[in-house]
A and B are shown apart, each in its own frame.
Chain A
Amino acid sequence: DTEVTQTPKHLVMGMTNKKSLKCEQHMGHRAMYWYKQKAKKPPELMFVYSYEKLSINESVPSRFSPECPNSSLLNLHLHALQPEDSALYLCASSQGYVGAPEQFFGPGTRLTVL
């Protein structure tokens, strides 16, 4: 299995809702990433997990809460989002964070906050 899967593909939520994005990989990768991508912009790093521990938090607001239950799964919990948080949320994985820069991306979750 050489792919990263993300669910759901699309999500519409209100500003008072709580929802979660899910990401899964079975390539044995030990680093997983969350990116946010606005239209016509490059991916913007949010979080990095290395060996199931949070390594990097790029000053992301607390309304985004990542979780890595095991080496294959990565979640992003969403609460009290703002309309400007609407974007494509990409998950990626790599063999490791150090020394293995090749990241493999999932198809993304298109999030719309009303």
Chain B
Amino acid sequence: GQQLNQSPQSMFIQEGEDVSMNCTSSSIFNTWLWYKQDPGEGPVLLIALYKAGELTSNGRLTAQFGITRKDSFLNISASIPSDVGIYFCAGQLRDDKIIFGKGTRLHILP
């Protein structure tokens, strides 16, 4: 079946560093979504991407829809403590089904 490969699985960074994570697949997607989930809470939508090549920013977050429609990345600039959490990519397939990546756990070292 279809699956998303999200990497890295976890990251340990210093406050102020930039962060980059990505999702890849062998399937073609119509839409890419990036969510953040804090412990004990539901995922919160960060960015939605609708067109191949699209580059979208939300504050310190920037995400891009790959031109092959099979991948997407999320960058976070100048990380701060509240960026800690789990980041999920999600892709919408042509049949409207949405599948989630396994998540990237972001840790910020004191």
Name A's B-contacting residues (CB within 8 A): 4, 40-43, 45, 88, 90, 92, 97-99, 101-108, 110
Residues of the A chain whose Cβ atoms lie less than 8 Å from the Cβ of B73: none
User: Within the assembled complex, what's the spacing in Å between the Cα atoms of A104 and B45?
Assistant: 7
- Known contacts A101-B31, A101-B33: A43-B100 contact under CB 8 Å: yes
In the complex where A105-B42, A110-B40 touch, is A98 in contact with B96 (Cβ < 8 A)? yes
B33 contacts across to A, CB distance below 8 A: 101-103
CA separation between A101 and B51, bound complex, in Å? 13
Interface of A is mostly: loop
Q: How many B residues are at the interface, by size bracket?
A: 20 to 34
Residues of B with C-beta under 8 A to A41: 102-103
Query: Could you list which residues of chain B lie within 8 angstroms of chain A, going by C-beta atoms?
Result: 30-31, 33, 35, 40-45, 48, 88, 90, 92, 96, 98, 100-103, 105
With A41-B103, A42-B101, A105-B35 given, name 18 new contacts (CB 8 A): A4-B42, A40-B103, A40-B105, A42-B100, A42-B102, A42-B103, A97-B96, A99-B96, A101-B96, A102-B33, A102-B45, A103-B98, A107-B40, A107-B41, A107-B42, A108-B40, A108-B42, A110-B40
